[in-house]
């Protein structure tokens, strides 16, 4: 039976969800002061960084898995990469990919300022080309974190799966597209339909391919955890 909800009920549900998220974040969220400062600057400059619920999930995963070799697609100003390294430990290494010159400069400044330039290697350029170079060089990673342009996830996936070592984990952020991924393509604005189609294909591959084990979590704007 179809249920009809009034606008007031929808609004109240959204408010309750926001309150619950705020409550959970207040319990879980913990960052060293230098990362709080990087986060404050990024938000002030309107640079998109991972949400606090996603921060908590990554902190948990790093503590549980203690990866030695990590890859990040989408550096921005370096906040998430620094968080990964801080919680994976001093003997962990991170390769991170970024193509926007302004963000590359900001990330390098942050890595140097906080002494993480020895632990983090920033690869400059389009991620598709960089990933292909990495596969040729035989790179392998315990954990790969993808937080890049959503319309490119499907394009990057073959290289990423080749770069994951057996038992490795792929963490993909922003897979629910603010709920749009649930909608019919005809309910999506025409300019967003290609991204919508690619994300649905991406999720189908992760959840239906032999050899991949994937869970989709409603954390932040949606995250998948995939092991090989």
Does the residue 118 lie in any domain? yes
Mean per-residue pLDDT, 45-72: 94
What's the rounded Cα separation, in Å, for the pair 198 and 93? 31
Instruction: Output the domain CATH number for residue 171.
Output: 3.40.50.150
Mean per-residue pLDDT, 171-191: 67
Mean per-residue pLDDT, 48-57: 91
Q: Is the pLDDT of residue 225 over 70?
A: yes
Does the residue 2 lie in any domain? no
Per residue in 75-112, pLDDT (tens digit) is 999 999 999 999 999 999 999 999 999 999 999 999 99
Q: Is the pLDDT of residue 185 over 90?
A: no
Does the residue 1 lie in any domain? no
Domain encompassing residue 24 = 7-227
* Number of compact structural domains in the chain: 1
pLDDT of residue 15: 37
Query: What confidence tier does 4 reach under pLDDT thresholds 50, 70, 90?
Result: very low
Q: Report how far Cα 74 is from the mean position of its chain's Cα atoms.
A: 8
Q: Is the pLDDT of residue 33 over 90?
A: yes
């Amino acid at each position: 039976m179809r249920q009809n909800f009034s606008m007031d009920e929808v609004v109240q549900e959204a408010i309750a969800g926001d309150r619950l998220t705020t409550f959970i974040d207040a319990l879980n969220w913990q960052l060293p002061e230098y990362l709080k400062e990087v986060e404050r600057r990024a938000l002030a400059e309107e640079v998109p960084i991972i949400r606090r619920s996603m921060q908590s999930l990554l902190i948990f995963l790093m503590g549980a898995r203690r990866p030695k070799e990590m890859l990040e697609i989408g550096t921005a100003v370096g906040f998430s990469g620094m968080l990964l390294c801080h919680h994976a430990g001093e003997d962990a290494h991170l390769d991170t990919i970024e193509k926007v010159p302004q963000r590359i400069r900001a990330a390098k400044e942050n890595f140097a300022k906080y002494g993480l330039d020895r632990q983090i290697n920033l690869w400059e350029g389009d991620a598709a080309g960089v990933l292909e170079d990495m596969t040729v060089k035989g790179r392998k990673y315990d954990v790969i974190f993808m937080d890049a342009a959503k319309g490119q996830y499907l394009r990057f996936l073959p290289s990423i799966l080749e770069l994951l070592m057996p038992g490795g984990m792929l963490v993909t952020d922003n897979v629910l597209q603010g709920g749009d991924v649930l909608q019919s393509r005809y309910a999506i604005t025409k300019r967003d339909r290609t991204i919508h189609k690619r994300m649905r294909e991406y999720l189908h591959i992760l959840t239906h391919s032999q050899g991949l084990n994937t869970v989709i979590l409603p954390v932040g704007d949606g995250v998948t955890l995939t092991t090989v």
